[in-house]
Amino acid sequence: MNFEKVVFGFFVVLAATLNFGFFIGPIDNPAVHNEWELFAAVVVNLIALVMKFGDRTQIGAIHLATSLVASLQLVAAAALWAIFTNVSDGALNTEQISSVVSLSGGALLANIISVTLLVVETVSFRRQ
């Protein structure tokens, strides 16, 4: 067993599950979307992004691209959350939380693609 691949797979799957946990629920209900879960999703996605820089294969390039997309959208979602809570009275309204959750949904799609690539790559791997 390759420990490096285990850690890589762990962060790819953890990034997707944290993003899913934040995304799930009514899009317009701020009570079901936790800011700490969004923060954790951002951090883990950035860690996964850094881990994907070393792979020089074509599938590694696609992994990196999906991670860039997910990280960009999650950072934008977190930035919007920060702007909305600091400009308004601290509570997000339905339009504001919908914008944040929508960005998280785009990141979730990129994370799902990344997990799918990871599974395909693992299934197609042949022992030498």
The tally of CA atoms less than 13 A away on the side-chain side of residue 32 is 12
Q: Where are the domains of the chain?
A: 3-124
> Per residue in 61-108, pLDDT tens?
899 999 999 999 999 999 999 999 888 777 788 899 999 999 999 999
Average pLDDT in the 99-127 region?
A: 90
Mean pLDDT across 24-34: 90
- 95: number of Cβ within 10 Å: 9
* Of 97 and 126, more confident: 97
